[in-house]
Structure 1
Amino acid sequence: MPVNVLFSARPEQWPVYEPLLTKGLSQADLDFRLATEFEPDQVDYVVYAPTSGLLDFSPYTQLKAVLSLWAGVEKIAGNETLTVPLARMVDHGLMHGMTEWVVGHVLRYHLGMDRYITVQDGVWTPDAPPLASERNVCVLGLGALGEAAATALAALNFKVTGWSRTAKDIPGVTCLHGTDGLRAALSSAEIVVLLLPDTPATENALNADTLALLPKGARIINPGRGPLIDDDALLAALDSGHIAHATLDVFRVEPLPPEHPYWAHANVTVTPHIASETRPTTAAQVICQNIIRGEEGKPFLHLVDRNLGY
């Protein structure tokens, strides 16, 4: 019997992914059928994006796994009709793109580039920045994306502290965890990068209390998830001067409404959710690898812990 793979994502993604998935599965000499429609009880795997509209998995009685095209799984992890393994997207293309974006904005802050790009006032002020080895950077979230970003920053000689909910060990990075670890990580952070998942436990990770832990003049970079930040608390910290600047790529409502105060704030840089994205070429490789592993009886890669939500 062929392996039936249902592609459940936006229609315009089908002509992009279909040849890539076909090529990857064909190379494994796998007897398969790939389509956007099957009878539910005939489906073995679902290649999934929340934008597809598929919400009820209960009719998929032969389903072996749901393979997400998204790194974030907060829109599906709590779905009670989904009882089979759920794998999130860990794509090295997405990882590299995120690392490049994070490193670029950390360097922008570290080198004070905004001062020379946005202000040309004719005043000669030769004020060189410190070396990276003298700059404290904190990465909140040490999953695949956070670890990659922290490792890249450490390779540039930044003093990198990483924080996660559970203990991690990353060469060149001071890894902290737990409530006390979070306080310690923030207390010396001149630049904070948010790469936590979006779960009930991480919502408003940066709030009035945690922002107050940061040194005066700290800068915030959020390419992770919008709900990680209490927007009102951040705006208050920016207005008071406690936080010098924030670069935000993700928001609770997207697109960010034109009337949102972030747009007009002098100390906020808004980017339109461009820090990174899933690259179809590399994402298809990840999907095919998991289908092949499933058919060989091997454990799926990048499984979501449903209790943690990521």
Structure 2
Amino acid sequence: MSVLIVCPGKDPENWVNELKNQHPGMNIYVYPEDHDNEEVEFALCWNHPRGLFKNYPNLKVIASMGAGVDHILSDTGLPEGIKVTKVVDERLTEDMSDFVLSQVMNHIRGLHYYTKAQKQKKWDRFQYQRPKDTKIGIMGMGVLGNAVADKLHKNGFHIYGWSRTEKDCENVTSFHGKEQLEEFLQNSEILVCLLPLTKDTENILNADLFDMLPEGAYIINVARGQHLVEHDLMKMIDNGHLSGASLDVFREEPLPDEHPFWEHEKINITPHIASLTNPNSVVPQIVENYERMKEDEPLKNRVEIDKGY
């Protein structure tokens, strides 16, 4: 029985070391080194080659190295009956909450503007907005969405949340379903996207949705680049309906040098760093699920494949 680590373009050394430290008897292979495919029953991965796992006849579990699982579920060649898990980690959750708060404060205090003004030696001031006068809409009220909502509420913001199904979240005015989307958006002066990436949510940040936001609304996308229709965002910023955006995720990463986002004065870019998985923090739950798999026990943080999260 072996574990296969698959993470093209990433250095797996820290993952291997942590797994061996916390489970000394674990036999670990790193793709694409030579190994016996029939030995592998558990895979730990990020952005694996499409169709790879069809070659493992005894594979039972595919574990994501992070909170997202779209990189797994987008593979149409997954083995039938496979179990998929995601990472749920307090450190990731806290880091995401802190990041969103920093981007919100950056926007309402105009810090992004002042950074550029400094380079131009431009002494210019404008009236800032206070948290108690700011309404924030969060799309996606899962673990991360709830944590972000709690952080923002504690800092004085008015919080509105939207999800696919009805949820009752503390200190959040909640909306759900397509029929309540417009009312939710009308209350979102700052819109934060934390949705899982599914067939229903791909391209959801588009011109039609932006048009339902209040004039001058601001977009923060920390979910997936495929949620955003990039041309629509730039068009709505350039025509003045949106005041700008903070983007941490993109359709192509790294963002190509020629991409117009780099030079857009009202788009703030960060390189997918809102919350970074730390192997030391998350390997314990990976090891626990490995043991649960061996004992045929229910897995922690298992994904509902038909829902996509």
Q: Same fold by TM-score, threshold 0.5 exceeded?
A: yes
> Residue in 2 aligned with 1:4?
2
Question: Is the Cα–Cα contact under 8 Å of residues 65 and 87 in structure 1 kept in the other structure?
Answer: yes
How far the C-alpha of 1:38 sits from its partner, in A, is 3.5
TM-superposed deviation, 1:4: 2.1
- Where does the alignment leave 5 or more consecutive residues of structure 2 unmatched? none
Counterpart check, 1:60 vs 2:56? yes
Greater RCO (Cα-Cα under 8 Å, separation 6 or more): 1
- Other-structure match for 2:106: 108
1:145 aligns with 144
TM-score, normalised on structure 1?
0.89
Shift of residue 11, structure 1, vs aligned partner: 7.8
Tell me by how many angstroms 1:293 deviates.
Answer: 2.5
Give 1:160 deviation, angstroms. 0.7
Matches within 5 A, 1:241-280: 241-280=240-279
TM-score after normalising by structure 2: 0.89
Out of 53, 69, 72, the position equivalent to 2:68 is 72
Name the CA distance, whole Å, in 1 between partners of 2:123 and 2:244: 24
- Give how far 1:12 is off: 5.8
| Distance across 1 between alignment mates of 2:225 and 2:173 | 26
Partners of 1:307 and 1:13 in 2: how far apart? Answer: 31
Q: Does 1:225 align with 2:221?
A: no
In structure 1, C-alpha distance between the alignment counterparts of 2:4 and 2:198, rounded to whole Å:
27
CA RMSD in angstroms, aligned pairs only: 2.1
Question: Structure 1 residues 8, 124: closer, same or farther in 2, change over 3 A?
Answer: closer
| Aligned counterpart, 2:44 | 47
State whether residues 8 and 54 of structure 1, in contact with CA within 8 Å, keep that contact through their aligned partners in structure 2. no
Given the superposition, is the C-alpha separation of residues 237 and 293 from structure 1 closer, same or farther in structure 2, using an over 3 Å criterion? same
- Give the Cα separation in 1 of the matches to 2:124 and 2:99: 30
Q: Cα distance 1:113–1:81, how it changes in 2: closer, same or farther (>3 A)?
A: closer
CA contact (8 A) 1:220 1:246 kept: yes
CA distance, structure 1, for counterparts of residue 29 and residue 114 of structure 2: 53
> How far 1:235 moved relative to its partner?
0.9
Structure 1 residues 106, 299: closer, same or farther in 2, change over 3 A?
A: same
**How far is 1:123 from its partner?**
5.1
Shift of 1:141: 1.1
Alpha-carbon distance between aligned partners in 2 of 1:196 and 1:23, rounded to the nearest angstrom:
34
Judge conservation of contact 2:160–2:187 (CA < 8 Å) in 1: no
Partner residue in 2 for 1:119: 117
Aligned partner of 2:214 in structure 1 is: 215
Superposed displacement of residue 118, structure 1: 3.4
Deviation, 1:33, is: 2.2
Q: Report the Cα offset of residue 188 of structure 1.
A: 1.4
Partner of 1:200: 199
Secondary structure class of the residue paired with 2:28: strand
CA distance, structure 2, for counterparts of residue 67 and residue 215 of structure 1: 40
CA distance in 2, matches of 1:177, 1:244: 26
Residue identity opposite 2:93 in structure 1 = M
Q: Offset of 1:268 from its aligned partner?
A: 1.1
Q: 1:272 & 1:209 partners in 2: Cα distance? A: 27
What is the Cα deviation at residue 234 of structure 1? 1.0
Determine the C-alpha separation between the residues in 2 that align with 1:59 and 1:257. Answer: 33
Aligned identity (percent) is 34
Does the residue aligned with 1:291 lie in a helix, a strand or coil? helix
Deviation at 1:104, TM superposition (A): 0.5
